[in-house]
Chains A and B, each alone.
Chain A
């Protein structure tokens, strides 16, 4: 009898320990199951606009092309003379082509695998850390201190083509990220995912404006604004600060700034901000390294197929535009599937405490599309209002882009969050709880909502929200 009682007590204690080990507020983490992310939209798969599937496939293939400076065995030339990476997919890979940064950072190998043989690996690029670009919020004084009266904010490419056998005599130095860090004058950005981007692109301004108005009566202290493009004044929507109008501009800018490949939208080589604004740009021996003239990416009139006639940027844009949005899926926490009830509860709580005011589950419906049927009259379940919001001093990066000031960011779309590894604009968080807490700082529109999450919900309710977020 005593042995039986002792056994029962031991089992009871063991059960308590197991229950305690599974903390009620645990980020389920990156979900490994295949949710089909990275496929084309259904109407594209059906080739409803004949040739559109070929455009998707061709763009997807080109998205993975590795660029060289010159003499590329695959004909992909024009890399550099400054770059952050060598293919679109090297940054946009998780969980599929077109996504965000992968678990293993390819940038970490560049100085040892011949990509950037004469460069140093910047200190913020690590083997398993986020794929990143860097910016200096301010220009520097000659003594290496930051000039707070001279905002910069442009991308400071991490690598150069110096020492590559295909780069001729071009020799450039990298920016000194160590000096910048010593001056607390460096910020980072990670890649944004592009799944479902065509849906976001095909939202009319009136839909976004109506959504803004509809949410103004919220009682959480939230009031966003839109970024707009300087050419026609309409709402811009892509990038961490919603600074880009269309997927073509998004692709063209990235091709030029991140890979140094000039194109039909951005037709010149792109030096560092200081090189272009205060010095004399690139030396002549760093120009036209591919030998093909400018822009380095252009249409191909003699190409054998219609898809191949397009320039790379158009191919990239077509690919991203026709990517299906990420599908929600089940969640596994510590090896155990989470109940659908918990996920549904988390969704309701997410709306109730204020998160959905900015992370709007469905901002609206797209307008008719001339591209493909799946982009017509389609709900955009992006969990974002595409608005700029003040996010406080904790997240502020002192970089302005268009109407977005240093503390303003576009509401990051949360669709696909379940399979993202690095969180927030600079990849500083891997854990949802840390990312949520970062929304709470002086000057943030999210302070009251985060207070509701942290203090006005039970631990079980908080876990439901985490489970829900990883289901996206």
Chain B
């Protein structure tokens, strides 16, 4: 494996610039195409020796490659695929492909569905997701969906809908729940915005949401933020538009959402069909056995990890929000050996979901 070095007697890959036709033949020979008869080969070799002595013939300007370039003839055109991120930094991964993940939502039949959060949201007519968002951040921030009007949208005004989730186990921001996070947002709103008078709570699809409305007088843009908590994540719906009536209409349309029973600005800690979620559950009093991961490489990035502990106290699922592959392997090997005391609720063992930050802690809040 190497990069291809053009040898001193290499010739540019176009026919027209060769001073010596035999040199052109020697190029095709270098490409593996054996089209030169043996006598011609002797001539080529003799000339090549002569050429070496004079130095290479090079074109003043290397031509860009194209489909007619003889260099590519007869060879499979294996290219680095466009539009694909093959070399990644710390990224999200999980120990299995079956357990739903926060970032595992998708849009099909004009509906956003997220099995992890138990959330479905029929999109407004002629609104779709143009592009998926970025991967989860090391601070536990997710972009679940980015929804905008399509080209066929005929409404009088435009806007966008951003659905995010913040893992409350890993946020460096103060606040224990969705309500506190919205309050923090309000209290720290930059001077570019003004809060608009709206009730601090809203009812969407029968569930309570913390809400915040603000606008930018300079831009003439309005934002409506609706937040609830599900499985210890603050799930936020951010509506943006120049037209407050559109925001009202989008908010009304959100009553078509389906949400889990636990969704609430101050609760939302799992239970029922999903594990209960508990912050800092992996502390000594709950652990029977613990093994530290042995990292093969020294890396300074924090690695936020969510685990699900089964009723017997074993780690049954691991979700890396942001980790390099070697970090994920080392942590997985360690977590396989952890043993928890079974978590009891009303005297019955239950599954627990919790978060552990490996490596340096996430950035502290101001």
Contacts and interface: CB of A to CB of B under 8 A. Distances in A.
A403 interface: yes
B185 to A, nearest CB: 5
A239 B311 CA distance: 49
Contacts of A297: none
A214 B6 CA distance: 51
A182 B58 contact: no
A233 B360 contact: yes
Nearest to A146: B80
Given A112-B60, A182-B69, A148 B80 contact: yes
A175 B192 contact: no
A277 B3 CA distance: 11
Interface of A: 111-112, 118-124, 136-141, 143-148, 150-153, 156, 162-163, 171-185, 209-210, 212-214, 216-217, 219-221, 223-225, 228, 230, 233, 272-275, 277-279, 345, 348-349, 351-353, 388-390, 392-394, 396, 398-400, 403-408, 440-445, 447-448, 451-452, 455-457, 461
Contact of B162 (A219, A345, A403): A219
A148 B134 contact: no
B2 A278 contact: yes
A141 to B, nearest CB: 7
Contact of B4 (A162, A180, A447): A180
Interface string B232-254: 00001010111000000000000
Interface in B298-345: 298-301, 322
Given A452-B240, A456-B240, A403 B158 contact: no
B61 interface: yes
A452 B221 contact: yes
A210 to B, nearest CB: 5
B336 to A, nearest CB: 26
Given A182-B77, A447-B133, 14 more contacts: A140-B4, A162-B8, A175-B5, A176-B4, A179-B4, A210-B363, A210-B366, A216-B172, A219-B236, A220-B162, A221-B141, A225-B138, A390-B135, A442-B131
Contacts of B143: 221, 445
Interface size of B as a range: 35 or more
A390 B87 CA distance: 12
Interface string B1-35: 11111111010110000000000000000001000
Contacts of B71: 178-179, 182
Contacts of B193: 352
B190 interface: yes
Given A140-B4, A221-B133, A279-B2, A456 B64 contact: no
Given A173-B6, A173-B7, A175-B5, A441 B131 contact: yes
B109 to A, nearest CB: 21
B349 interface: no
Nearest to A208: B363
B126 to A, nearest CB: 14
